[in-house]
């Protein structure tokens, strides 16, 4: 978005509108953080605003201010569809291809013709939005939303709730400020959020120190299943549906597991393969350190995408077949994985 686009957006938002905010399916801290921050922001201008999320978030995000107001498309489809149909503007946050809302909601959105405003930091944005604010060098959509509000010259509207939501999203998408996309600008923005009242320690604890006993047992199983692929600086973890069931798996329980594989000395590429019998897929998370692009890897072989060092994908094959495919693909990247 250029200067003129920001002026146009400011103009469009200068009168009360019916607005829907949509995060991607399986919303994470950044998706919910940016959606909720924008929700609280737009309410200050008397817009009619609703967040419609494709599905529910994990338990560790359920404390976020305004989270209880979010309409879940999967659970409340008729109401959610009405809201989307009525919306004059739909904000698409933390995703850049419309199908990332999941199949059913994607089909519903395809029938509509709102003004789309996309704010996102993933690679290779699609052109579905009238206004696309996209920068894949930025650590999080929450940082981009802060910059969006800054460009609208409205930073003074950031209150405690907005600061808390933005902080939570930046915290989670930067792996607590350790990933390379964390910049001095990120820290300046975070400093401002703290000045506006965000409680860093409390937010960290609410997100990270809420493991159940079952989750840690499942982590134990995941670590037992971890394998290193000699010669490729690669490690991967598998979790079958029965292993998930045996440990009373709940949504969000496997968050962060893949990072243990990446933390091995000399490993630069890590993956976790999680069986989902209900959806009939294997959900995959890829992580890397350095130049090896898991975005490209996932796009090319596993119907996914994301960022250079963090991407997701899926496979319709069995868990065993998916792993054998993965191992067959690795030699194509022998040079990059030395
Ligand atoms: P995660 O592995 O934590 O689910 O996702 C890592 C990153 O890749 C996130 O930024 C997420 O939005 C993105 N991502 C996850 N799954 C998919 C997918 O199926 N397609 C695309 N394009 N991106 C994904
Ligand atoms: Mn994000």
Q: Which residues contact 75 (CB under 8 A, 6 or more apart)?
A: 55, 56
The mean pLDDT value for 290-311 works out to: 97
The mean pLDDT value for 224-231 works out to: 97
**Measured distance CA(100)–CA(37) in Å, rounded:** 21
> For the whole model, what pTM was predicted?
0.96
**Measured distance CA(239)–CA(218) in Å, rounded:** 9
Closest CA to 164 of 27, 49, 41: 41
In the structure, what pLDDT confidence band is assigned to residue 55 with cuts at 50, 70 and 90?
Answer: very high
Question: What was the pLDDT predicted at 87?
Answer: 98
Average pLDDT, the chain: 98
Question: What was the pLDDT predicted at 251?
Answer: 92
Q: Which residue's alpha carbon is nearest to atom 13 within ligand 1?
A: 306
311 touches ligand 1 (CB under 6 Å): yes
Name 1's bridge partners. Answer: none
Share of residues in the chain with pLDDT > 90 (%)? 99
Nearest bound ligand to the CA of residue 262 = 1
Question: What was the pLDDT predicted at 57?
Answer: 98
304 touches ligand 1 (CB under 6 Å): yes
The mean pLDDT value for 9-14 works out to: 97
The mean pLDDT value for 267-271 works out to: 98
Question: What was the pLDDT predicted at 297?
Answer: 98
Question: What was the pLDDT predicted at 143?
Answer: 98
In the structure, what pLDDT confidence band is assigned to residue 264 with cuts at 50, 70 and 90?
Answer: very high
Question: What was the pLDDT predicted at 265?
Answer: 97
Q: How does pLDDT run across 147-191, given as a tens digit for each residue?
A: 999 999 999 999 999 999 999 999 999 999 999 999 999 999 999
Question: What was the pLDDT predicted at 302?
Answer: 98
The mean pLDDT value for 236-247 works out to: 98
Q: How does pLDDT run across 100-141, given as a tens digit for each residue?
A: 999 999 999 999 999 999 999 999 999 999 999 999 999 999
CA-173 nearest atom, ligand 1: 10
Question: What was the pLDDT predicted at 59?
Answer: 96
SS3 118: strand
Q: How much distance in Å is there from the Cα of 283 to the middle of ligand 1?
A: 10
């Amino acid at each position: 978005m250029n200067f003129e686009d920001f002026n146009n957006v400011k103009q469009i938002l200068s009168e009360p509108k019916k607005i829907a905010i949509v995060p991607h399916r399986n919303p994470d801290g950044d998706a919910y953080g940016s959606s909720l921050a924008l929700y609280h922001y737009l309410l200050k201008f008397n817009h009619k605003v609703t967040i419609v999320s494709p599905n529910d978030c994990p338990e560790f995000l359920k404390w976020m201010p305004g989270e209880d107001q979010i309409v879940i498309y999967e659970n409340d489809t008729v109401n959610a569809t009405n809201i989307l149909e009525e919306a004059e503007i739909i904000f698409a946050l933390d995703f850049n291809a419309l199908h990332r809302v999941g199949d059913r909601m994607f089909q519903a959105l395809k029938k509509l013709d709102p003004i789309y405003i996309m704010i996102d930091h993933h690679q290779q944005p699609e052109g579905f939005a009238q206004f696309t604010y996209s920068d894949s060098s930025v650590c999080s959509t929450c940082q981009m939303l802060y910059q969006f509000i800054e460009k609208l010259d409205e930073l003074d509207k950031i209150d405690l709730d907005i600061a808390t939501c933005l902080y939570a999203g930046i915290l989670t998408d930067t792996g607590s400020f350790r990933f390379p996309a964390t910049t001095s600008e990120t820290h300046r923005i975070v400093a401002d959020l703290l000045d506006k009242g965000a409680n860093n320690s409390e937010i960290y604890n609410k997100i990270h120190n809420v493991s159940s006993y079952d989750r840690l047992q499942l982590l134990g199983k995941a670590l037992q299943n971890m394998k290193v692929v000699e010669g490729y600086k690669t490690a991967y973890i598998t979790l079958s549906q029965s292993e998930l069931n045996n440990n009373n798996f709940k949504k969000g329980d496997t968050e962060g597991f893949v990072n243990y594989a990446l933390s091995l000395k000399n490993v630069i590429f890590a993956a976790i393969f999680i069986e989902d019998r209900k959806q009939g897929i294997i959900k995959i998370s890829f992580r890397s350190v350095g130049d090896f692009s898991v975005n490209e890897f996932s796009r090319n072989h596993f119907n996914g995408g994301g960022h250079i060092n963090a991407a997701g994908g899926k496979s319709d094959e069995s868990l065993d077949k998916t792993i054998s495919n993965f191992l067959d693909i690795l030699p194509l990247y022998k040079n990059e994985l030395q």
